[in-house]
C-alpha cells in the first residue's frame, strides 16, 4: 500500500491525473478487479445426497476429480448428504467409497457394500460438469 501511495504522489505531482481519478485507479479499481474472477474454485459448491439402491448411503466419502488439479473429497453424512467446496468449474469424474463396517460391536445392521467400480473415479462412470456458484447434484448408485 505504501508503494501505491508513493506512485499516487508522483503522478499527482507530475500532473495529468486528478485526485479523484488517482483515488479510483489505486483504491477502487483493484477492489473491482478482485470480483472479476469468473467463477473461481473458491466460489463453487456442489452438494446433494448419495443413494445406493434408492436409499441414502449412511456414510463414506465422495471424491470429485477435475481434469486438472487435485481431487477434492467430502465426507458423506449419516443421512447421505455431502458438500464439496472450492471445486474448479468444468468436468469432473466422481468416485464414492462406502461407509465400511461399524466399529460398534452392538451394531446389528449389515454394512453397505458398494460395487468396487465406484471407488475409482476413472471407472465409476459418474461424471458432472461443475458450474460457477452453488449447485445441487444427487448421486444415485446402483448394484
**pLDDT digits over 10-56, tens only?**
444 445 443 433 333 344 333 333 344 444 566 899 999 999 999 99
Biggest CA-to-CA distance, the chain = 81
Output the pLDDT for position 108.
67
pLDDT reported for residue 104: 73
Name the residue among 59, 113, 53 with its Cα closest to residue 82: 59
C-alpha dist (Å) from residue 42 to 70, 85, 88: 14, 7, 8
User: Strands, E, within 1-143: which ranges?
Assistant: 45-52, 55-56, 61-66, 72-75, 81-85, 90-97, 126-130, 134-136, 139-141
pTM reported for the whole predicted model: 0.68
| Inter-residue long-range contacts of 101-109, CB under 8 Å, 24+ positions, other chains counted | none
Per CATH, the architecture of 41-141 is what?
A: Sandwich (2.60)
CA–CA dist 49, 86 (Å, integer): 18
Q: What's the pLDDT tens digit per position in 92-132?
A: 999 999 997 767 777 667 788 999 999 999 999 999 999 99
DSSP code per residue over 104-116: -TT--SPPP---G
Q: Is 16 helix (H, G, I), strand (E, B) or coil?
A: coil
Please state the domain extents for the chain.
2-34, 41-141
- Identify the pLDDT of residue 3: 46
Amino acid at each position: 500500500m505504501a508503494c501505491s501511495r508513493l506512485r499516487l504522489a508522483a503522478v499527482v505531482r507530475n500532473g495529468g491525473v486528478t485526485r479523484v481519478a488517482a483515488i479510483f485507479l489505486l483504491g477502487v479499481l483493484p477492489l473491482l478487479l478482485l470480483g472479476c474472477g469468473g467463477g473461481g474454485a473458491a466460489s463453487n459448491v456442489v452438494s446433494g445426497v448419495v443413494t445406493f439402491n434408492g436409499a441414502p448411503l449412511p456414510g463414506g466419502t465422495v471424491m470429485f476429480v477435475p481434469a486438472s488439479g487435485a481431487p477434492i473429497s467430502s465426507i458423506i453424512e449419516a443421512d447421505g448428504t455431502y458438500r464439496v467446496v472450492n471445486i474448479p468449474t468444468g468436468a469432473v469424474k466422481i468416485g464414492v467409497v462406502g461407509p465400511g463396517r461399524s466399529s460398534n460391536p452392538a451394531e446389528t445392521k449389515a454394512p453397505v457394500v458398494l460395487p468396487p467400480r465406484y471407488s475409482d473415479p476413472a471407472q465409476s462412470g459418474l461424471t458432472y460438469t461443475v458450474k460457477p456458484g452453488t449447485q445441487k447434484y444427487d448421486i444415485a448408485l446402483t448394484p
